[in-house]
C-alpha cells in the first residue's frame, strides 16, 4: 500500500498521479515500496537458519559427549580385562571404544598392547618348545624378541609381562647351565658360568651358583697349595687372589692366603738358613712331643662328582700354646706301593689348644676309585707362636 507524499492519500501502485490532489507521484516511491516489501518478506530466513544451526551444533555436541562417555567406559573395561589376563575380551572393548571415538589415542595404545601381549605369549610358548628340545640359544632369542616388543610400553600390566619374560629367560638359562655342567667344563669355563648363574635370582640358581663356586674354590686351593709347596709364593698368591674374585667369602681361600703370606715373609726374612733352622726346630719338637702337639683325628679318600680323587682330613691341637702353619705330608699307595707324596696345609692357619683344623686336596690327575688307593700320613709339622 502506497501513500501520496503530497496529500497523504492512498494511491495504487500502478498509478502515476494522485487521484486526490492530482500531483505526479515520484518514481522512487515505487522503489521504496519494493525494498520495504522484500525486507518484510526475507528478514526471517537468516534468523531461522541461525537457530537451526545452533540447534544442530548443540545436538551434535551432546552426541559426541555421549559417545566419548561410552568410549571411556569401554576403555576402562578393556583395561580391567588386561589386568585379568583376558586379552581377547580386552581387544573387543578397545575396538568398540575406537568405533565410538575414532581418535581415542589411549584406546589405540591399549589395542596395540593387547596384540603385542598375544604375540609375546606366543613367543614364550615357542621358547618352551625350543627348550624342551634343548635348543637353548633359539629359546633365548625368542625371549629377547619378546622383550623388544615391550620397549614402547610401561605400567602395571607391562610389569606383569616383564616378570613373565624374565621368569622364562631364567628358566632357559638354568637348564642351559645344568646342561653345560654335565660336560665337565674347564676352570675358566666355570668362572664364566659362575657369573651367569649368579645373575639369576632364584633358589635353584643359587644352588647352582654355590656348586660352581665350590668347584672353583677346590681347584684354586689345590693349585695354590701346589705352588706353595714349591715355595712359589707369588704364583700361589696370584692364584688365590684370582680365586677370591669368585669366592670372596671363602674361609678356605682366606686362610690359605694368610698361610702363603706368612710363609713368604718368613722365607724373605730368614732365607734358607732360617728356614732350615725352623724346619730342624720343628722336627726336633715333633720328635720330643710327637703326640702332644697335633692329633690326626681322621683322614679319608673320596671321589668328587667329576671323578677326581679328593683327600680330606681333620686334625686337633692338643698343645698348650697356639700353633700355626700346620703341614701334613701324606703318601698314596696302590697295592702297598707308594706312587705319590704330597704336602698340604691345614686351615685355619692358627690352631689354639683343643681347636680342630681341616685339610683337603683334590688330585685332578688321579681318577682312580678311592677304595683302590690307600693313604698314609708320613709326618706333621707346625710352627709355635711363642
Residue where the block lists cell 674374585? 245
Q: What is the DSSP letter of 369?
A: -
Grid coordinates in use for 226? 701346589
Question: Where does residue 351 rank: exposed (0-12), middle (13-18), buried (19+ CB within 10 A)?
Answer: buried
Residues 6+ apart with CB under 8 A from 114: 78, 82, 87, 90, 91, 94
Per-residue confidence (pLDDT) for residue 224, from 0 to 100: 93
Cα 213 from Cα 232, distance rounded (Å): 25
Cα 192 from Cα 194, distance rounded (Å): 5
Phi, psi angles (nearest 5°) of residue 27: -65, -30
Q: Using N-to-C axis directions, what is the helix angle for 203-229 and 187-198, rounded to 10°?
A: 150
Asked if the peptide bond before residue 282 counts as cis, ω within 30 degrees of 0, the response is no
Per-residue confidence (pLDDT) for residue 11, from 0 to 100: 56
Per-residue confidence (pLDDT) for residue 38, from 0 to 100: 47
To the nearest whole number, what is the mean pLDDT of the chain? Answer: 79
The residues spanned by each domain of the chain are 2-42, 47-181, 258-384
Q: What angle do CA 265, 270, 271 make, to 5 degrees?
A: 95
Helix (H, G, I), strand (E, B) or coil at 206: helix
Helix (H, G, I), strand (E, B) or coil at 88: helix
Which CATH number does the domain 258-384 belong to among 1.20.120, 1.10.3470, 2.60.40, 1.10.287?
2.60.40
Phi, psi angles (nearest 5°) of residue 358: -125, 155
Per-residue confidence (pLDDT) for residue 232, from 0 to 100: 92
Residues 6+ apart with CB under 8 A from 216: 187, 190, 191, 194, 243, 246, 247
Cα 73 from Cα 107, distance rounded (Å): 11
Question: Where does residue 313 rank: exposed (0-12), middle (13-18), buried (19+ CB within 10 A)?
Answer: buried
**Inter-CA distances, 33 with 26, 27, 29, Å:** 12, 11, 6
DSSP codes, 93-104:
HHHHHHHHSTT-
**Please, which contacts does 110-117 make with residues 24 or more away whose CB atoms are closer than 8 Å?**
110/75, 110/78, 110/79, 110/82, 113/82, 113/153, 113/157, 113/158, 114/78, 114/82, 114/87, 114/90, 115/91, 116/149, 116/150, 116/153, 117/82, 117/87, 117/157, 117/161
Per-residue confidence (pLDDT) for residue 107, from 0 to 100: 63
Stretches where the chain sits below pLDDT 70 are 1-6, 8-20, 22-95, 97-101, 103-111, 153-157, 272-292, 385-386
Per-residue confidence (pLDDT) for residue 122, from 0 to 100: 86
Per-residue confidence (pLDDT) for residue 216, from 0 to 100: 92
Amino acid at each position: 500500500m502506497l501513500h501520496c507524499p503530497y496529500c497523504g492519500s492512498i494511491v495504487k501502485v500502478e498509478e502515476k498521479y494522485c487521484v486526490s490532489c492530482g500531483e505526479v507521484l515520484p518514481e522512487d516511491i515505487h522503489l521504496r515500496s519494493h525494498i520495504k516489501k522484500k525486507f518484510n518478506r526475507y528478514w526471517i530466513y537468516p534468523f531461522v537458519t541461525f537457530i537451526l544451526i545452533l540447534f544442530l551444533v548443540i545436538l551434535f555436541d551432546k552426541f559426541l559427549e555421549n559417545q566419548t562417555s561410552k568410549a571411556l567406559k569401554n576403555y576402562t573395561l578393556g583395561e580391567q580385562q588386561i589386568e585379568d589376563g583376558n586379552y581377547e575380551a580386552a581387544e573387543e572393548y578397545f575396538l568398540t571404544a575406537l568405533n565410538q571415538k575414532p581418535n581415542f589415542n589411549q584406546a589405540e595404545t591399549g589395542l596395540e598392547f593387547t596384540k603385542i601381549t598375544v604375540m609375546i605369549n606366543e613367543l614364550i610358548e615357542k621358547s618352551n618348545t625350543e627348550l624342551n628340545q634343548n635348543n637353548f640359544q633359539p629359546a633365548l632369542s625368542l625371549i629377547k624378541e619378546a622383550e623388544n616388543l615391550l620397549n614402547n610400553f610401561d605400567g602395571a600390566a607391562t610389569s606383569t609381562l616383564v616378570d613373565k619374560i624374565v621368569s622364562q629367560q631364567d628358566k632357559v638359562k638354568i637348564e642351559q647351565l645344568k646342561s653345560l655342567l654335565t660336560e665337565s667344563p674347564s676352570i675358566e669355563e666355570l668362572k664364566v658360568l659362575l657369573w651367569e648363574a649368579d645373575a639369576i635370582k632364584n633358589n635353584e640358581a643359587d644352588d647352582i651358583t654355590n656348586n660352581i663356586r665350590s668347584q672353583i674354590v677346590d681347584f684354586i686351593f689345590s693349585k695354590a697349595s701346589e705352588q706353595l709347596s714349591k715355595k712359589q709364593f707369588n704364583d700361589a698368591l696370584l692364584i688365590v687372589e684370582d680365586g677370591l674374585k669368585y669366592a670372596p667369602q671363602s674361609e678356605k681361600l682366606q686362610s690359605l692366603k694368610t698361610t702363603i703370606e706368612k710363609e713368604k715373609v718368613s722365607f724373605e726374612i730368614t732365607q734358607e738358613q732360617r728356614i732350615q733352622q725352623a724346619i730342624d726346630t720343628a722336627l726336633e719338637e715333633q720328635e720330643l712331643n710327637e703326640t702332644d702337639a697335633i692329633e690326626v683325628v681322621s683322614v679319608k679318600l673320596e671321589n668328587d662328582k667329576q671323578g677326581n680323587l679328593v683327600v680330606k682330613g681333620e686334625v686337633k691341637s692338643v698343645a698348650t700354646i697356639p700353633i700355626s702353619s700346620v703341614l701334613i705330608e701324606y703318601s698314596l699307595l696302590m697295592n702297598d706301593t707308594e706312587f705319590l707324596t704330597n704336602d698340604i696345609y691345614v686351615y685355619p692357619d692358627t690352631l689354639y689348644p683343643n681347636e680342630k683344623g681341616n685339610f683337603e686336596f683334590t688330585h685332578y690327575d688321579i681318577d682312580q676309585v678311592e677304595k683302590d688307593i690307600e693313604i698314609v700320613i708320613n709326618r706333621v709339622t707346625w710352627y709355635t707362636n711363642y
